[in-house]
Amino acid sequence: MFDSAPAELVSARDWALARIRGRIHSGEFQPGVKLSIDSLAAELGVSRTAVRDAFGQLEREGLVTIASRVGVFVRRLTRSEAVDIYRMKEAVEPLMARWAAERPSAAQRAEYRDAVAGLQAAAADGDVDAYVKHLERCRRDLLRLAGSSPLQHMHEARLRMCRALDNAAAGPGAGAPA
């Protein structure tokens, strides 16, 4: 008998996907940069097929552009896309807040009020780092309390786009949360 649960098995494609996506989000791979299948396959220790399949998923997520017979490039967001991202946020967050107010139990709402109190205390203290930490927690909690899987997926897609936008503006290593 084994003493511990086995580690989760991850395909080579998913492993490569997570690493490449992380490097795009962190700003290590800047918008417009050409990505090499051969170099990444060798660096990550996976097959060219795993990297090529990861690129296909990244293209569906809007993070790369695949130009046939030319290469794979980290995608640049247009000004129009950036405006659309923030308009989507403006439109969806009130719905998220309404559902978060309507759907959870009284105990869950009380827990959220405690998180907001932490946010307010950080603001009153002028502690920017604590404020950002509490703000991110409040956003995550609101999304969880809204209890909507489609809203969760939409929010995750918007965050990926915002990270790409932030990294394009800030340069390598930025990776600031949106």
Which pLDDT score is estimated for 169?
58
Tell me the CA end-to-end span of the chain in Å, nearest whole number.
Answer: 45
Which pLDDT score is estimated for 170?
56
Which pLDDT score is estimated for 178?
42
Count the helix, strand and coil residues of the chain and give each as a percent rounded to the nearest 5.
70, 5, 25
Per-residue pLDDT band at 33 (split at 50, 70, 90) = very high
Task: Indicate if the pLDDT at residue 124 is higher than 80.
Answer: yes
Look at the alpha carbons of 129, 135, 139, 144 in this order and tell me if their dihedral is positive or negative. positive
What average pLDDT does this structure show over 20-45?
A: 92
pLDDT in tens, 56-75: 999 988 889 999 999 999 98
Decide which of 108 and 78 is more confident.
108
Sorted by where each starts, the structural domains of the chain and their CATH numbers stand as 12-74 (1.10.10.10), 79-167 (no CATH)
> What span, in angstroms and rounded, lies between the C-alpha atoms of 38 and 36?
5
> What span, in angstroms and rounded, lies between the C-alpha atoms of 23 and 108?
35
Decide which of 129 and 172 is more confident.
129
* Cα→Cα distances 1→4, 7, 25, Å: 9, 15, 41
Which pLDDT score is estimated for 76?
84
* Cα→Cα distances 98→101, 113, 114, 143, 168, Å: 5, 15, 18, 11, 33
pLDDT in tens, 106-115: 999 888 999 8
